[in-house]
Structure 1
């Protein structure tokens, strides 16, 4: 009898093959995997050029729990232990983080031959935004699409938008059930509204009234909002990490995307048939643009750009507006000062306030400072990723404080991650960074002014394809990203947030119910936790006093 036959007939094999042993093996497999994962980190020698790997117990899962629960504290803890550059495992992905302004510059100012935003994000954005736009096209094509959008974000259009946004806010206060106390006219009774929920509704109303066009605005109560909600359900961390799960939310996302895309195309076709151009809205601006090779935008590309504008802008603006309002109403002295600023600039002889204008909004120093401080303390996106498509050499100075003489190499296939949010709260650049202090922006020789200057004017002006911009990649203040992927909608965001906050301050006295909430990091955009209750009452009408 051969050795193989003897082994297969042995009692040992019988014991291993028994159902009881199989069950025990299955039960112990996770423990065995954990032990092997730990031993591999402790015993297997590492390439000295690899960035330090954050220790993790669970294979594949890695540091996902710590990162997902509180990414900023996770980064700061790792920075103290490993230095400014380190790698962590996120559901099978190797993610190398580079912190601080130099780290932001390494990633956000990275060469196209080394890093790719498209490969990092297309699996998330393409099912939501659509094919052929944003990260589903070559980078040079995306830069041209940003230029097309920039045409629609003109100063002339902004002047029209202020009045439109004011009208939307006032109509909302006059009709929404959450503002019943405002509508009854009793100035002595306080009401309450959930800030995030109501401001999210307001932002989509104002965005549709301005950028999206009257057809979209008129459709918000005819099923469009439901389609938007289902599409929004496909824009979550789950979709980023696992793009192809067989879940109902994924199917709803795809059905809603098709419906919204067809809706925009129907608008385009109808306008074309009627030979009609709507002045001021983005769809009309896009319809008049051509690529460098002379090709016009297709109807489907225009539809998908419109969806991208709606989805991306809605999340960031509603979140930033909510944080801004919460801090204002949590600091009565700031709220009073903002109202006095409105009276000073817009007050009339009869005690009323003149209409807001674009030019005047840009000259309100406290309002501007409050928005900037909100974006410093609550930047909408805490992590900005790229896919490494060729090895990246990390300068030795970035390795400090762990090893200033070590040159790291981030290998092809890794993801890299910048976190401007960490720089925003770094005491090396900001005095009392945890404190919400808009007045820090008034000091023209202070750190805030220097950070803003380096963001808007740092380095040579570069034209990535959508006009001259500052790289801003080494600034400790980067609320809208930096480099070629810097958000071109930031001026509209300031306009939208400033107009909404100003109109609410004019109409309402407000105070916070329970204090400014903690961050909710379970969403792609860093939202406040909970209901965010704000108490309010109507301001007296000066004409009736």
Structure 2
């Protein structure tokens, strides 16, 4: 999770300083003495000097992790971290090791890197390393009350169990065809694909991959998980509500949850209206009787807590909002990166197309629709998705707030043989699976997108995935069904432990079907894959990100 939005688009520091001086001069009445102006000018300088001296002169406690040196008080390392968190982490690791602390806009954040660091933080007890304390101020205004991080952990685990009911194989079997239809209809009607619609196999067109994937993702999710009424209601008014709500899902909202800004007010109004939208659907379904719809609303309407209390309508509505917002961002990001890499590696895109020709060709030379079971058995498609998620996990930083002093295991990082680091209460801790997934100490050619690394059964990738899936090991039930812990693996694209994303199977289905449908209809090209944009909550590709395309000859 990136926290650079407050700094996104800011001027260089010297320009900010010049603006500060100009504002100070304009603010102070001319009749005032020059002393006041000098005070305003020099106080920040004095603060910076004192902050630096404090770090150099005052020794830190021997049992606390080293703190990254920073010039500007309160801001700390926010600029370096926000602009490029992975380079920041790797550079800090070279100097301080796997465990260190940095200041992030007044917060003290202790980072624990590598698989052992991930295991320490993501596998830690929620009573000590708490996710609700870290995230509820961001998620509750968007998702709503009484769900996710707005409830005690044990209640959230029950809610995850409810969601898991709707993520059944029976429902998934109906979703593949729905997603394929939505993508094909989009290609046939969206203005971005005019060349495709003209059925010209020689002319090339282009599209903004992030924009297109965001639209396709919300269309396919609403057609499947969200339900028929949501798909039918995807008009301009719904899009406006979604955009206003999405405007509250930014790093700025994470760092400063209650600013008196128009975007915050639009977020709050949008949440109320969207919650009412879902509640109206639920009430209408209850009044009309059970329609056996293969969607999440229907599944949630049948659920009750262990104490016998049924899931209330507003809780169902808020869970649906959470699914919409979280799934939309992560899936559109992963889909964008996948298509970008395929466009930059046309030989792999062609091999992916030939995989479909081999499995789905009909006697008349066309390609038939896939089934859910068939989609799961395409080795190259599976490898393409895994490799994309390895290099581009949607969230690069996962945080917890420390409720009590916690000891870091000596095996992770210790100041000496006979002592250990202690993280004080009130600090935040941060795990970064994105670091372990691109660590050159673990992966060969770590920054090269190479799906074929997953075909070596003895290779690092296969071993990492086996540890993550832990198919033959002991499963843990956190309250939503037995799952592999996966916190020891250097590959954790959907998180690990009790907060591991339960929607990963749907994400594979959705992403695989979208990519397969696009690749079977068109060739795609791009000169190079864009860099990461870390100024958003979910890591997206920087603009420009236009992919060139043309219709396949035998489509």
Q: Which TM-score bucket, shorter chain as reference?
A: over 0.9
Q: CA deviation at 1:297?
A: 0.5
Q: Deviations over 1:386-416 (max 9, x none)?
A: 000011101222226x756641000110000
The one-character-per-residue Cα deviations of 1:51-91 (angstroms, maximum 9, x if unpaired) are 00000000000000000000000000000111100000001
2: distance between equivalents of 1:222 and 1:31?
50
1:488 aligns with 2:502: yes
> Aligned residue for 2:522?
508
| Equivalent residue number for residue 6 of structure 2 | none
Describe the superposition over 1:170-191 as per-residue Cα deviations: whole angstroms up to 9, x where unpaired.
Answer: 0001100000011111111111
Partner of 1:436: 449
Match of 1:203 in 2: 217
- The 5-angstrom pairing of residues 114-513 of structure 1 reads 114-399=128-413, 406-457=419-470, 460-512=474-526
Q: Mark the CA change 1:452 to 1:405 in structure 2 (over 3 Å): closer, same or farther.
A: farther
Mapped to 2, the partners of 1:48 and 1:186 lie a distance apart of 69
CA distance in 2, matches of 1:20, 1:505: 68
Residue among 106, 111, 115 paired with 1:97: 111
- Equivalent pair of 1:398/1:404 in contact (CA under 8 Å): no
Q: Distance in 2 between matches of 1:222 and 1:63?
A: 41
Q: Answer whether contact 1:196 1:531 (CA < 8 A) is retained.
A: no
Looking at structure 2, the residues matched to 109 and 203 of structure 1 have their Cα atoms a distance apart, in angstroms, of 31
Residues in 1 aligned to 2:495 and 2:262: alpha-carbon distance in whole angstroms: 33
SS at match of 1:399: coil
Partner of 1:10: none
Structure showing greater radius of gyration is: 1
Which 4+ residue blocks in structure 1 deviate beyond 4 angstroms?
A: 402-406
Contact 1:113–1:389 (8 Å) recurs in 2: yes
Alignment of 1:72-83 (within 5 A): 72-83=86-97
Contact 1:393 1:410 in 2 (8 A): yes
Any idea what SS the aligned residue of 1:436 has? coil
**Take 2:503 and 2:53, find their aligned partners in 1: how far apart are those partners?**
48
Deviates more, 1:279-288 or 1:17-26: 17-26
1:67 has 2:81 as partner:
yes
Q: Secondary structure at the match of 2:265?
A: helix
Give, in whole Å, the separation in 2 of the partners of 1:218 and 1:113.
Answer: 43
**Cα distance in 1 between the residues matched to 2:314 and 2:276:** 8
Question: Contact (CA 8 Å) 2:195, 2:550: kept in 1 or not?
Answer: yes
Deviation string 1:89-129 (CA, Å, 9 cap, x unpaired) is 00100000000000001100011221110000000000000
Where 2:488 maps in the other structure, the secondary structure is coil
Q: 1:84 aligns with which of 68, 90, 98?
A: 98
2:550 maps to 537
3-state DSSP of counterpart to 1:135 = helix
Query: Aligned to 2:401, what secondary structure does the other structure show?
Result: strand
C-alpha displacement of 1:222 = 4.3
If the length of structure 2 is used for normalisation, what is the TM-score? 0.93
Aligned counterparts of 2:111 and 2:536: Cα–Cα separation in 1 = 20
* Pairwise CA distance, 1:494: 0.3
Unaligned stretches of 5+ residues in structure 1: 1-16
CA shift, 1:18, in A, is 7.0
Give the superposed CA RMSD: 1.3
Structure 2 Cα separation of the partners of residues 236 and 37 of structure 1: 29
Task: Check conservation: 1:399, 1:406, Cα contact below 8 A.
Answer: no
Q: Structure 2 regions of 5+ residues with no counterpart?
A: 1-30
Contact 1:396 1:405 in 2 (8 A): no
Deviation, structure 1 residue 273: 1.0
1:28 matched to 2:42: yes
Report the Cα offset of residue 356 of structure 1.
1.1
How far 1:277 moved relative to its partner? 2.8
Deviates more, 1:120-129 or 1:105-114: 105-114
Q: Give 3-state SS (helix, strand or coil) of 2:207's partner.
A: strand
Name the CA distance, whole Å, in 1 between partners of 2:291 and 2:105: 48
Change (3 A) 1:223 1:317: same
Q: Aligned residue for 1:3?
A: none
Q: Would you say how many aligned residue pairs link Structure 1 and Structure 2?
A: 524
- Residue 12 of structure 1 corresponds to none
